[in-house]
Structure 1
Amino acid sequence: SHKAIATILGAGLAVSAIVSPASAAELPLLGSSLQLSEPSNALSLPTWAIHVSSVLEWIIAMALVWQYAEESGYESWKGLSWGMVPLLGGAFCACTWHFFYNSESLEVRLPFFQALVALQGALTVIGNTAMCVAAFRIYKSLQGRSENL
C-alpha cells in the first residue's frame, strides 16, 4: 500500500519533470490549437507537481509520526504530529495563493486574500514553535526513560 503510493507519486513527479511545456498555458486543449489563457506569473506544471507532492508528503509524515507514537508507546511523539498541523495549514494557504496566480488584484476585490499571506506566515510561526516544543517534550520523555535503564 505504502509502496504503491510512493511509486505513483514518484512516477508522477518524474513525468512532470520531463513534460516539456512549462505551464498549462502551453498545452493544447484536446488536440486543438486553442491555448489556455494564463498570466505570466502562473506556476509551471513541474512546480505545481512539487507543491502538491510536498503537501501529500507532509500529510503522510504526520500519519507516520502518529503511527510511530501508537506502536512504540512514546505518546510524546503525538505532539509532534499535532505540531505539524499548522504548517499544513500554511501550505494550503500558499497553494491557494498560487492557485489564483499570486494576484495582487485579488487583495483588493476579495478581503479574504488580504489576510492569506499573513495567515500563512502566522501558521508557519505557530507550527515551528509547536514542533520545537514537541521536540523538547520528546527529548525530555526519552531522557527520563534512558535514566531508568
Structure 2
Amino acid sequence: MHALSLGTWWIHVTTLFEWILAIVLILRWSIQNNKPNMKWLALAMLPNLASAMAAITWHIYDNASSLKGLVVLQSGLTVVGNFCLAAAAWNLVRTKNKQSQPS
C-alpha cells in the first residue's frame, strides 16, 4: 500500500465514504418526500461508487500489473456511471418541467 501517499489515501477513502453517505441521504430524502425520481439519482450513483472501489482495490495491492483488469473495469464503470448520472439528471429536469407547466 505504499504506492500512494498518506494524503492521497485519505482523499480516496474519505471520498468513498462521502459518496456512500450521499447515496444514502438522497435515498432517505426521496422516500421521506415521496420523490421517486431522486431514487433514480441515488441508483445512478452506484456505478461510480463501484468504480471508486475498483480503483482503491488496485491501489491496495500496490498497482499490481496482474490486476490491470481492475483499471479497465474502473474506467468502464466510470463511463457507465457518468451516463447513468446524466440520464438521472435529465430525468429530474424533465420531471420538473412537466410539473411547472400549466395544466
Task: Output the TM-score relative to the length of structure 1.
Answer: 0.64
1:96-121, Cα deviation, whole Å (9 max, x unpaired): 111111122xx2xxxxx232111001
Identify which of 34, 45, 51 aligns with 1:90: 51
Give the letter for the 2:98 counterpart: G
Name which one, 1 or 2, has greater alpha-carbon Rg.
1
1:30-88, Cα deviation, whole Å (9 max, x unpaired): xxxxxxxx76xx21222111111000000001111112211222211111101100000
Secondary structure class of the residue paired with 2:35 = coil
Structure 2 unaligned regions, length at least 5:
none
More helix by share: 2
Greater relative CO, 1 or 2 (CA 8 Å, sep 6+): 2
Matched, 1:125 2:86: no
Paired position in structure 1 for 2:7:
46
Aligned-residue sequence identity (percent) comes to: 36
Aligned residues: 103
Paired position in structure 2 for 1:60:
21
- Cα distance in 2, alignment partners of residues 139 and 132 from structure 1: 11
Structure 1 unaligned regions, length at least 5:
1-37, 108-112
- Deviating 4+ runs (over 4 angstroms): none
Identify which of 60, 67, 73 aligns with 1:99: 60
- Cα distance in 1, alignment partners of residues 45 and 27 from structure 2: 11
